[in-house]
Amino acid sequence: MALKSEKKNGYQSELLLTESPWTQKRMSKVLIWLSFLFILFMFLPWTQNIQTQGTVTTLLPNQRPQEIQTIIGGRIEKWHVTEGDYVRKGDTIVRISEVKESYLDPKLLEQTETQIRAKESSVNSYSSKIEAINRQITQLEINQDLKLKQAKNKVEQEQMKVNSEVAELEAAKTGEGIARQQYSRDSALEKKGIKSPLDVENRRVKWQESVAKRISVENKLMSARASLENARFELRNVTAEYGEKMAKAESDRFSAISNQMETEAEVSKLRNQYSNYSIRSGFYTIMAPQDGYVTKTLASGIGETVKEGEAICTVMPSAVHLAVEMYVDPMDMPLVKKGQHVNFVFDGWPTIVFSGWPNYTYGTFPGRVFAIDNTLSPNGKYRLLVAPEVGSKQWPPQLRVGTGSHGYLLLNRVRVWYEIWRQLNGFPPDYYKTETAPTKPKK
């Protein structure tokens, strides 16, 4: 027990030797200053921000990497460029040849043009035929008018002859009646002895002659009526005959017109084919749609077959307006507005970033929100397109499409303690509201 108490007293004496009142005072001051600095730091201003990753792209769709595709299928015959070459709009990139059997004929355009000329000649022939039929119809109409006039005149003549025969028959009947009366009267007088038998015989002969004359006139009347009917039949026959001829001529004319229209349709179809063949022949040479650099060839070799619409190489336009494509969470989406300020850190450029104090940040590049998607992207976030800020620090000219970036969307300015409290509770940043100066009323 004595030994233990001696050791304990030894330890206490050594501890008393190491302690110093000056060290205690210094530690107290340090703690007090640290507490003061911490409290001061908690009341410093802090710029709220939304941090997100993005990639460099182009502002306009026609300035992004473009795949050059073949409009028609074919076989590669010759490459005129290599990867990395600079091409201007209209420069030849590759030539292909035809592989479809419908277009293998080297004289396809000439033969199609010959068919067009032949069909055009057929159209002209049908036009001449239609004109000839029109002249034929006109002549038929003239002949029909003449024949109708002749037939009508003949009908009128026969009608007049019938009328004359009717009058002559009436006269013959009257003469027959008078001769019969005279014969009867003389026969009665003969019986009385007043008239001689010779006179009676003479009266009888005259009566017989009048009867014969009446019968002859009746026969002539019947013949005249038959001639009148024949004349009327000829009149109707003229109308029917020329109607049939004109109907046949009209039918031939309409047939010629129909054949002409069908031939014109075939000519139009052949011209369409000729135009398609001519345009297709221009697709054998694949040219650059704009100035740029050939970055990658997707089809290689000579004699390789490419399908219709298949990409053969990629061209990156030389003159581009760069932008950054970035995505934000749906919770932060209501805070983002078009024209909002964004700071960027690009891969490969040294930076010193203080996200809450953008004025003390080194190496960042400014931008403005140019476009905001209204629909959710497949990754569950909203897409933003940020363009360089005009009149501010320019983006590096060495930037290339696809370079990674880290963006800071600057929001409201708050105190550090409030930002820590917000982060610990998982609250979204505050809405940024700009204060506008009151407008003076107009005098």
Q: Are 376 and 44 in contact (CB under 8 A)?
A: no
Residue 291 sits in the same domain as residue 364:
no
Domain closes at, from 316, 337, 367? 316
Q: Given this model, what pLDDT does residue 429 score?
A: 61
> pTM for the complete prediction?
0.55
Residue 302 sits in the same domain as residue 274:
no
pLDDT tens string 129-150? 889 989 998 898 898 888 888 8
Q: Is residue 88 part of a domain?
A: yes
Range of the domain at 254: 108-280
Report the number of distinct structural domains present in the chain: 3
Q: Is residue 3 part of a domain?
A: no
Contacts of 336 (CB under 8 A, 6+ apart): 50, 328, 369, 372, 382, 384, 409
Pick the closest to residue 59 from 395, 321, 325, 317 (CA basis): 321
- For residue 45, the domain's CATH number is 2.40.30.170
267 or 60, which is more confident: 267
Span 77-88, average pLDDT = 89
Q: Is residue 5 part of a domain?
A: no
Radius of gyration from C-alpha coordinates of the chain: 60
Task: Report the range of poorest mean pLDDT among 2-16, 39-53, 67-81, 215-229.
Answer: 2-16
Dist CA 223 CA 229 (whole Å): 10
Q: Given this model, what pLDDT does residue 56 score?
A: 87
Residue 416 host element (H or E):
helix 416-425
- How large a percentage of the chain has pLDDT more than 70? 80
Q: Are 433 and 377 in contact (CB under 8 A)?
A: no
Q: Given this model, what pLDDT does residue 3 score?
A: 41
Contacts of 3 (CB under 8 A, 6+ apart): none
Task: Report the range of poorest mean pLDDT among 14-28, 219-233, 247-261, 391-405.
Answer: 14-28
Residue 155 sits in the same domain as residue 193:
yes
Q: Given this model, what pLDDT does residue 437 score?
A: 43
SS3 (DSSP) at 59: coil
Residue 272 sits in the same domain as residue 158:
yes
Q: Are 362 and 343 in contact (CB under 8 A)?
A: no
Strand order in the sheet with 311-317: 66-69, 311-317, 292-297, 86-87
Contacts of 277 (CB under 8 A, 6+ apart): 103, 108, 109, 112
Q: Given this model, what pLDDT does residue 269 score?
A: 92
Q: Is residue 368 part of a domain?
A: yes
Residue labelled with tokens 């000829």:
234
* Residue 363: φ, ψ to 5°: 90, 5
Q: Given this model, what pLDDT does residue 379 score?
A: 87
Residue 48 sits in the same domain as residue 140:
no
Q: Given this model, what pLDDT does residue 172 score?
A: 79
Residue 113 sits in the same domain as residue 201:
yes
Q: Given this model, what pLDDT does residue 265 score?
A: 92
- For residue 79, the domain's CATH number is 2.40.50.100
Residue 226 sits in the same domain as residue 242:
yes
Q: Given this model, what pLDDT does residue 443 score?
A: 44
| pLDDT bracket for residue 281 (50, 70, 90) | confident
Dist CA 90 CA 252 (whole Å): 55
Residue 48 exposure: Cα atoms within 13 Å on the Cβ side: 22
Span 389-398, average pLDDT = 82
Task: Report the range of poorest mean pLDDT among 13-17, 383-387, 415-419.
Answer: 13-17
Q: Is residue 117 part of a domain?
A: yes
Burial class (CB in 10 A: 0-12, 13-18, 19+), 264: middle
Residue 90 sits in the same domain as residue 179:
no
Residue 121 sits in the same domain as residue 232:
yes
Side chain identity at 160, as an amino acid letter? M
* Residue 236: φ, ψ to 5°: -65, -35
Span 13-31, average pLDDT = 61
Q: Is residue 234 part of a domain?
A: yes
Mean pLDDT taken over the chain: 79
Sign of CA dihedral 22, 23, 28, 34: positive
Residue 23 exposure: Cα atoms within 13 Å on the Cβ side: 4
Cα 309–313–317 angle (5° rounding)? Answer: 110
Residue 59 pLDDT > 70: yes
Residue 296 sits in the same domain as residue 355:
no
Q: Is residue 28 part of a domain?
A: no
Task: Report the range of poorest mean pLDDT among 14-23, 107-116, 126-135, 428-437.
Answer: 428-437
SS3 (DSSP) at 65: coil
Q: Given this model, what pLDDT does residue 433 score?
A: 45
Side chain identity at 120, as an amino acid letter? E
331 or 356, which is more confident: 331
Dist CA 300 CA 293 (whole Å): 17
Q: Is residue 4 part of a domain?
A: no
- How large a percentage of the chain has pLDDT more than 90? 7
SS3 (DSSP) at 35: helix
Dist CA 313 CA 94 (whole Å): 10
Residue 375 sits in the same domain as residue 233:
no
pLDDT tens string 110-133? 888 999 999 889 889 888 988 998
* Residue 344: φ, ψ to 5°: -120, 145
Side chain identity at 188, as an amino acid letter? A
SS3 (DSSP) at 398: coil
Residue 225 sits in the same domain as residue 361:
no
- For residue 184, the domain's CATH number is 1.10.287
Q: Given this model, what pLDDT does residue 407 score?
A: 78
